[in-house]
């Protein structure tokens, strides 16, 4: 059995749902690394810090304590307070990509991610897990889907939560985030050479989970 699984890909490719289902099936830890970046972005927002120019950043980062738990659902704590819901606010959606571009933030979170992911068998989901965070992962998966499909999934998710947002706006955001995430100098979103690419455009969640589960076992 492969112990450390890396799942990367752009927003809306189905990473979270797939990674969580897979982790449950394998009884592995699930780590949502986007949530760690979001928690740091929330810390910036709470302290009125504007990226990228931030004085005393290493000191500020040394004051952040991040913890996660994976039981009935994935939860995240910033300096002892649960922020699982707070990190999904639109303000944080807008702030997280610029925050994730900062080298000091990525270096700090690299250590946090490795410590959590290597503490036990795990499924770690993000953008640079196979390339930078766990280059030694036992299995690397790169999930993709056409932008229109990814935007549609995001739009559906929001609509199901009672948030009536314009589809065109969601598509614009998806394309914008793809651009920022894949063109940044530091650890851009890209497929690791030894990753297996799965296009989820025409597959159900269960089909994708099944495919990866077979790869974990063999
Ligand atoms: O997966 P998500 O949408 O919650 O991620 C939020 C942002 O964090 C995303 O715009 C890019 C960044 N991110 C990253 O740079 N590296 C990761 N491993 C995970 C997320």
For the stretch 93-110, pLDDT in tens is 889 988 998 999 999 999
What is the CA 157 to chain-centroid distance, rounded? 17
86 burial level (CB within 10 Å; 0-12, 13-18, 19+): middle
Strand order in the sheet with 4-8: 29-32, 122-126, 4-8, 139-144, 196-199
**31 neighbors 123 (Cβ within 8 angstroms):** yes
Distance between the two ends of the chain, CA-based, in angstroms?
7
pLDDT tens profile 17-63? 999 999 999 999 999 999 999 999 999 999 998 887 778 888 889 99
Q: Which of 91, 96, 98 to mutate to test the pocket of ligand 1 (most atoms within 8 A of CB)?
A: 96
The structure's pTM equals 0.91
Pocket test for ligand 1, best of 20, 33, 134 (most atoms within 8 A of CB): 33
Q: Residues 72-76: what's their mean pLDDT?
A: 95
Measured by CA distance, the residue closest to atom 9 of ligand 1 is: 97
Whether 218 shows a pLDDT value over 90: the answer reads no
Nearest residue (CA) to ligand 1, atom 1: 34
Instruction: Phi first, then psi: give them for residue 86, nearest 5 degrees.
Output: -60, -35
**Cβ of residue 95 lying under 6 Å from some atom of ligand 1:** no
Nearest to 117 by CA among 6, 11, 200: 6
Report whether residue 37 contacts ligand 1, using a CB cutoff of 6 Å. Answer: yes
84 within ligand 1 shell (Cβ under 6 A) = no
pLDDT over 90 percentage in the chain: 76
Domains in the chain (CATH in brackets) are 4-206 (3.40.50.300)
Confidence category of residue 197, pLDDT binned at 50, 70, 90: very high
- Rounded CA-CA distance 204/107 in Å is 35
SS3 198: strand
Give 218's Cβ-side CA count (13 Å radius).
6
CA of 203 to the centre of ligand 1 (A): 23
């Amino acid at each position: 059995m492969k112990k450390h699984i890396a799942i990367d890909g752009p927003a809306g490719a189905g990473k979270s749902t797939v990674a969580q289902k897979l982790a449950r099936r394998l009884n592995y830890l699930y780590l949502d690394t986007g949530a760690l970046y979001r928690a740091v972005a929330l810390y910036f927002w709470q302290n009125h810090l504007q990226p990228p120019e931030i004085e005393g950043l290493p000191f500020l980062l040394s004051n952040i304590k991040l913890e996660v738990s994976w039981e009935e659902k994935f939860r995240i704590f910033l300096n002892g307070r649960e922020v699982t819901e707070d990190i999904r606010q639109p303000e944080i959606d807008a702030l997280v990509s610029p925050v994730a571009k900062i080298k000091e933030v990525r270096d700090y979170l690299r250590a946090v991610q490795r410590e959590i992911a290597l503490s036990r068998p795990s499924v770690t989901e993000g953008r640079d897990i196979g390339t930078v965070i766990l280059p030694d992962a036992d299995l690397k998966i790169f999930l993709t889907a056409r932008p229109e499909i990814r935007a549609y999934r995001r739009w559906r998710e929001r609509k199901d939560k009672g948030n009536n947002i314009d589809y065109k706006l969601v598509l614009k955001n998806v394309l914008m985030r793809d651009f920022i995430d894949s063109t940044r100098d530091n650890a851009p979103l890209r497929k690791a050479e030894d990753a297996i690419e799965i296009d989820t455009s025409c597959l159900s969640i269960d089909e994708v989970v099944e495919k990866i589960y077979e790869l974990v076992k063999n």
